[in-house]
Amino acid sequence: MMKAIRIIERLLTQIDYHEQHVLYNNYPPVKLNKSSAEEEDDEETKKKAMMIGRKKDEKKKEEEEKKEGEGEEEDKKIKVKSLFTFECDITNGRQVSCMDINEANPDLIAVGYGEYDISCIDDSTLKKGLLCFWTLKNPNFPEKIITHDHSITCCSFSKKSPHLIAIGDSHGNIAIYNIRGNNTKPIAESKDLESKHTDIVWEVQWMQRENKGESLISISGDGRIIEWSMKKGLEFTELMQLKRETTLN
């Protein structure tokens, strides 16, 4: 029953956003041929509209002349048309901290929500992080929502296994989720490892290394660049320790 409701919901949403989908995918416009009865109705409607339009044109002529100068300046400006707005009650008022697009399914967008004013010491006033998976099939509600203990600061889909996504948070943790199915718990995380990052994780990226397969690289405010592997649990190798430059007066 729920599957059928979900299909109907998507169909209705696609009807509402049909014009936006056509523009987004750059599809050519389709013109449908009308029947003779419809054409006759259209002709009568056009005649009535022309009569009304002539009267209105006389009144608007003076106003158009005044706005002509302003209109020329507006035409010179570059305009951007918004096609989709992804929002719902759950994300309302939350701050977007990161996002990534799935390469296997470009219509799937992962968006991380966190806080700009991040404190790794006292987070009693901070909300939990959210990882929402939006799709063009339904911009009004996410396909999947994952709640994380701390503010999410970065996220990245795996290139080799697009069903995997890694996130970094404000407390130096790394977590990897499998978005298949209904499970919202991470399949691997670093929060219990002694040598995990000790500061905010600012970036995570998947990399394909020769003879090693795909691994995850993270960089944190603690200056460490770490490579993570899931071959035997979640293992890590420290690649580099960045040091803060000191300036002498």
Strand order in the sheet with 152-157: 152-157, 164-169, 174-178, 188-189
Last residue of a domain, one of 59, 82, 105: 82
* Domain annotation covers residue 6: no
The confidence score (pLDDT) of residue 82 equals: 81
* Domain annotation covers residue 12: no
The confidence score (pLDDT) of residue 40 equals: 64
190 and 227 co-located in one domain: yes
Model confidence pLDDT, tens digit, residues 33-52:
655 666 666 677 777 767 77
23 and 146 co-located in one domain: no
The confidence score (pLDDT) of residue 15 equals: 74
* Domain annotation covers residue 1: no
The confidence score (pLDDT) of residue 121 equals: 46
Is the pLDDT at 54 greater than 80? The verdict is no
* Domain annotation covers residue 126: yes
* Domain annotation covers residue 73: yes
The confidence score (pLDDT) of residue 137 equals: 84
Q: Which two tokens stand for residue 97?
A: 């901290």
131 and 104 co-located in one domain: yes
119 and 218 co-located in one domain: yes
The DSSP string of 157-206 is E-SSSTTEEEEEETTS-EEEEE-SSS--S-SEE-TT-TTS-SS-EEEEEE
* Domain annotation covers residue 142: yes
Residue with tokens 């603690």: 222
The total number of structural domains that make up the chain: 2
59 and 104 co-located in one domain: no
Average pLDDT rounded to a whole number, residues 160-174: 93
Which pLDDT band, with edges at 50, 70 and 90, does 168 fall under?
very high
Give dist(CA 169, CA 191) in Å, integer.
10
* Domain annotation covers residue 13: no
Residue with tokens 């394909």: 208
Lowest mean pLDDT among 10-24, 32-46, 79-93, 181-195: 32-46
The confidence score (pLDDT) of residue 70 equals: 60
Which pLDDT band, with edges at 50, 70 and 90, does 57 fall under?
low
The confidence score (pLDDT) of residue 211 equals: 74
* Domain annotation covers residue 53: yes
55 and 130 co-located in one domain: no
pLDDT greater at residue 215 or residue 3? 215
Is the pLDDT at 114 greater than 80? The verdict is yes
67 and 183 co-located in one domain: no
Longest alpha-carbon distance in the chain: 87
58 and 105 co-located in one domain: no
The confidence score (pLDDT) of residue 202 equals: 93
Which pLDDT band, with edges at 50, 70 and 90, does 177 fall under?
very high
Give 227-232 contacts, CB < 8 A, sequence gap 24+.
228/166, 228/174, 228/190, 230/176, 230/187, 230/188
128 and 44 co-located in one domain: no
Q: 228: domain range?
A: 95-241
104 and 190 co-located in one domain: yes
Lowest mean pLDDT among 74-88, 155-169, 186-200: 74-88
Average pLDDT of the chain is: 81
The confidence score (pLDDT) of residue 126 equals: 67
CATH number at residue 132: 2.130.10.10
Is the pLDDT at 131 greater than 90? The verdict is yes
Is the pLDDT at 124 greater than 50? The verdict is yes
218 and 146 co-located in one domain: yes
3-state SS class at 8: helix
73 and 105 co-located in one domain: no
Are 196 and 159 contacting, i.e. CB atoms less than 8 angstroms apart? Answer: no
